[in-house]
Amino acid sequence: MKLSFHILDVFTDKRFGGNPLCIVHGADDLPTAQMQTMAREFNLSETVFLLKPENPAHSARIRIFTPTKEMPFAGHPTVGTAILLAEMKVAGISGDHEALIVLEAAIGTVRVGVRMRAGQATFAEFDAPKLPVEAGILQPLERLAAGLGLIPSEIGFENHRPSCFAAGNAFAFIPVSTRQVIERAYVNGSDWAHAFEDQGVVGAYLYTRQCVHNSSAFHVRMFAPSAGIPEDPATGSAAVCFAGVVHRFDGIPDGTHKRGLEQGYAMGRPSQIALTLVVSGGSLTTVRIGGQAVRVAEGVIQV
């Protein structure tokens, strides 16, 4: 059996930046084990398998795999898949277009708005299917620092302290004092395992306010070796959870607030994620993730 696939770079408007994503078409007859094997073969942060939707009014059902496990939800596969499906719908039709792509994921139904403009990389944005909630207490500061090859005094800034939030996937959020410190961080062998592996988190999400671009609010890195991702160039699902961090520590008032997140710079794959938070009555009511994507390659795989 031969299946076609596309590769896109997501959360970027330039090829060979952002987070690469493979999308495999017509995967209805593939068993789960075969999907996992193919994801390991592509060896990208995530591979998406497209299936017929259970609701015929929806665009597609998707299954998302890292090289080592299936994920109920992930941000850059959602953005990239929606952009590819929207572009395929209007292939050969010139001009500007907008589309609503409805994806059935393990976490639930996700509606993605897509904006296509001539001469620009296509942009997509979705409301997170789950809002972030606090998800337990992390290890002591000294152990977290050791797991990242840092010293305890380099972790934390202002009132920000390590925290754990989940929105389907759970992440450890580690505030770091400067961009120079965040660039020195790494997965520190057995110390990493002691700090993070027993916490039930996908990975550790480091962040600082010191950014490369003035348009960004936070500079971030994300390590997830247990998921087969030593470092991720752009992590939409963690950005959803990060909205909980921003709401908790920055005390933002009621209204709509936008925060630009830059990621992937240490890997040479600059990424830009648009994070929108809506606060009402003091509570976080909506989290929205957006970004661009560009096609890089397409082909056929023999299975």
pLDDT of residue 200: 85
pLDDT of residue 21: 98
Distance between CA atoms of 288 and 302, rounded to whole angstroms? 37
Burial class (CB in 10 A: 0-12, 13-18, 19+), 80: buried
pLDDT of residue 227: 87
Active site residue 46: yes
pLDDT per residue rounded down to tens, the chain (303 residues): 999 999 999 999 999 999 999 999 999 999 999 999 999 999 999 999 999 999 999 999 999 999 999 999 999 999 999 999 999 999 989 899 999 999 999 999 999 999 999 999 999 999 999 999 999 899 999 999 999 999 999 999 999 999 999 998 899 999 999 999 999 999 999 999 999 988 889 999 999 999 999 999 999 999 999 888 999 999 999 999 999 999 999 999 999 999 999 999 999 999 999 999 999 999 999 999 999 999 999 999 998
The CATH classification number of 133-290 equals 3.10.310.10
Distance between CA atoms of 111 and 129, rounded to whole angstroms? 9
Residue 120 host element (H or E):
none
Name the token pair of 236: 């939409």
Residue 67 host element (H or E):
none
pLDDT of residue 154: 98
Distance between CA atoms of 292 and 80, rounded to whole angstroms? 8
pLDDT of residue 159: 98
* 100 in Cβ contact with 111 (< 8 Å): yes
Name the token pair of 242: 């990060």
CA distances from 146 to 143, 177, 186 (A): 5, 16, 10
Which position among 41, 46, 87, 142 bears the catalytic label? 46
pLDDT of residue 266: 96
Predicted structure pTM score: 0.95
pLDDT of residue 91: 92
- What is residue 273's three-state secondary structure? strand
Backbone angles phi, psi at 51, to 5 degrees: -130, 165
Superfamily name with CATH number, domain 2-127+292-302: Diaminopimelate Epimerase; Chain A, domain 1 (3.10.310.10)
* Residues carrying CATH 3.10.310.10, the chain: 2-127+292-302, 133-290
Residues in CB range of 265: below 8 A, 6 or more apart: 212, 219
pLDDT of residue 199: 82
Residue 241 host element (H or E):
helix 236-250
pLDDT of residue 192: 95
DSSP labels for 169-208?
EEEEEEEBS-HHHHHH----HHHHHHHHGGGT-SEEEEEE
